[in-house]
Amino acid sequence: MIRKAVSETHSALTPFTQKCRTLNHLKELHCQLLKFYLPETPSAIAPLLSFAVNSSNPSFFNYLRIVFQNLGYQSTFLYNTMIRGYMQSDLPIPAVLCYKDMLRNKLIVNNYTFPPLIKACSMILNEFGQHGFSVHAHLLKLGLQHDRFIVAALIEFYSLNIEMDRARMLFDEITNRDVVMWTSMIDGYGKIGEVGKARLLFDEMPERNVISWSAMMAAYSRASDFKEVLCLYRRMEEDGLKPNESVLVSILTACAHLGALAQGLLVHSFAKHYNYESNPILATALVDMYSKCGRMESASSVFEAMTYKDSGAWNAIISGFAMNGNAVKSVQLFDRMIASGNRPNETTFVALLSACTHAEMVDVGLSLFARMGSVYGVEPRFEHRACVVDLLARAGKLEDAEKFIEENMGGIEKADANVWGALLGACRVYGNVEVGDRIWRKLSNMKVIDHGTCVLAYNIYREAGRDVEAKCVRELIEEMRTKKQPGCSVIEVNDIAEKSFASDLLHPK
């Protein structure tokens, strides 16, 4: 039967390939082709390769990949199939090398070559960013620039490369736009912060799918316009679309920042119903949302139920306990994280040092900072050093904090307002006028003072009875005509947290 199938047409082999359930079945079929037909009809391998590429079994493609590399016969179809196979296996560099082999072997490339090839170039932008431009030049030379699938891939490439002017030029030139092109443009504008342009395109779209909604919500999320994220979600629900995991992650991020616990609970219920909780990114977003809403029992429950915990999940739960005042639990979770084989990163140590600061766990915090680079391979950054200054200052170790700034941060000149504020605030709390006066004079000479540091300095001098210096600072405050950012509280109205500032007389709602 196989002999007859090959003699008639290669497509007649399809029923035989579809019966392959294991790698051994595929090898048996390949063996029959080798035994009877491949020497005379080398192109008979094509349906076998196509089946391997389209199969969900990765071992099929891995096997046929080796077969392809040892073939004496070459054709445009085989190379196009391999490029597509490499892309479906998340192997963009071999896909580009395959294309280069085609050119070297003087094979004809066609419109089927370029869509997966351009997607491969999009995936390797950081390492080989110029390949995509060369491919674009090649297809222009061949006159393939009007193929809608190629244009869609190019728009995605330029959007990911943050070259939205080129992407927009391609988008405007083609009349037959599909939802993929529209969505790529929206996502591209969102990534460069052009939310207004993204929204204009979104509103113009003739049809939208869930990925379009997700891209628009992600754009607003990056711009920290979390209220609009929730508004879009409600509109999407009204249109009868079922949200995917990406949409729910954006919603949970918005709920976390707005303190919209009621909406977050609804999203969690939806995720449970559709078994989305197994998605580690969504589960991490749930941990973060519950943590920021102060529901650490719920956050812990979601975290412990996760089968796969990456560093993002560990950071979310460690940060959650840190921001809710349980520094001991944060450190215990850190120990569990290390024992599980997960590597901590910069975010992990910011959370831990902040937790130690607020709990005045000075020795633990200093020990963690000392082990960051030497034990865990995480190079301390500015924010970690700022946490150490705050840790020492809040514990009343002002001279140690000042010394740390000089030795580890390049002196007070290299620090920022948060570091100065932490140190000056501690000087006021502990009545250390000497250190406070020294820091204030340095900041004044550098002309980097702000309203907060001025108020702290004024209070330090006034409370110490140094009226002359206090008066000078007061005059400086009046001369600067700056106002301190008022404190605010959060009130949940219709499932959305509304901010109410201390300077307000009445909340708008």
Q: What confidence tens digit (pLDDT) does each residue in 259-312 have? A: 999 999 999 999 999 889 889 999 999 999 999 999 999 999 999 999 999 999
Q: Backbone phi, then psi, for 325, in 5-degree steps?
A: 85, 10
CA–centroid distance for 68 within its chain: 36
> Residue 46 — pLDDT band, cuts 50, 70, 90?
confident
What is the percent of the chain where pLDDT is above 90? 50
> Residue 7 — pLDDT band, cuts 50, 70, 90?
very low
Residue 422 has pLDDT above 50, yes or no: yes
Domain assignment present for 111: no
Whether 504 and 385 map to the same domain: the answer is: yes
List alpha helices for 223-308, DSSP H.
226-238, 245-258, 261-273, 280-292, 296-305
- pLDDT tens digit string along 473-484? 888 888 876 555
Which segment of 31-35, 63-67, 318-322 scores lowest on mean pLDDT? 31-35
Domain assignment present for 335: yes
Whether 427 and 325 map to the same domain: the answer is: no
Whether 399 and 342 map to the same domain: the answer is: no
Whether 341 and 419 map to the same domain: the answer is: no
Which segment of 9-13, 146-150, 199-203 scores lowest on mean pLDDT? 9-13
Domain assignment present for 410: yes
Whether 355 and 390 map to the same domain: the answer is: no
CB-based contacts of 76-80 (< 8 A; 24+ apart in sequence): 76/102, 76/107, 76/108, 76/109, 76/110, 76/113, 77/43, 77/46, 78/43, 78/45, 78/46, 78/49, 79/107, 79/113, 80/110, 80/112, 80/113, 80/116
Whether 394 and 500 map to the same domain: the answer is: yes
Domain assignment present for 7: no
Residue 33 has pLDDT above 90, yes or no: no
Whether 387 and 504 map to the same domain: the answer is: yes
Domain assignment present for 256: no
Joined together, the tokens standing for residue 277 give 């909780």
Radius of gyration of the chain (CA): 31
Q: Domain tally for the chain?
A: 2
Domain assignment present for 469: yes
Distance CA 192, CA 185 (A): 11
Q: What is the pLDDT of residue 397?
A: 87
Q: What is the pLDDT of residue 472?
A: 87
Whether 399 and 351 map to the same domain: the answer is: no
Domain assignment present for 97: no
- Per-chain mean pLDDT for the chain: 85
Whether 489 and 444 map to the same domain: the answer is: yes
- Region of 130 (left: φ > 0; alpha: ψ -120 to 50; beta: rest) is alpha
Distance CA 81, CA 53 (A): 7
Residue 208 has pLDDT above 50, yes or no: yes
> Residue 415 — pLDDT band, cuts 50, 70, 90?
low
Range of the domain at 443: 381-508
Domain assignment present for 156: no
Residue 5 has pLDDT above 50, yes or no: no
- pLDDT tens digit string along 215-233? 999 999 999 999 999 999 9
CATH of residue 451: 1.25.40
Residue 428 has pLDDT above 90, yes or no: no
> Residue 24 — pLDDT band, cuts 50, 70, 90?
confident
Query: What is the arithmetic mean of pLDDT over 206-212?
Result: 94
Whether 357 and 451 map to the same domain: the answer is: no
Q: Backbone phi, then psi, for 500, in 5-degree steps?
A: -125, 115
DSSP-assigned states of every residue in 331-377:
HHHHHHHHHTTPPP-HHHHHHHHHHHHHTT-HHHHHHHHHHHHHHH-
Residue 364 has pLDDT above 70, yes or no: yes
Whether 351 and 461 map to the same domain: the answer is: no
CA-to-CA separations, 273 to 16, 141, 246, 255, in angstroms, rounded: 40, 52, 16, 19
Whether 389 and 494 map to the same domain: the answer is: yes
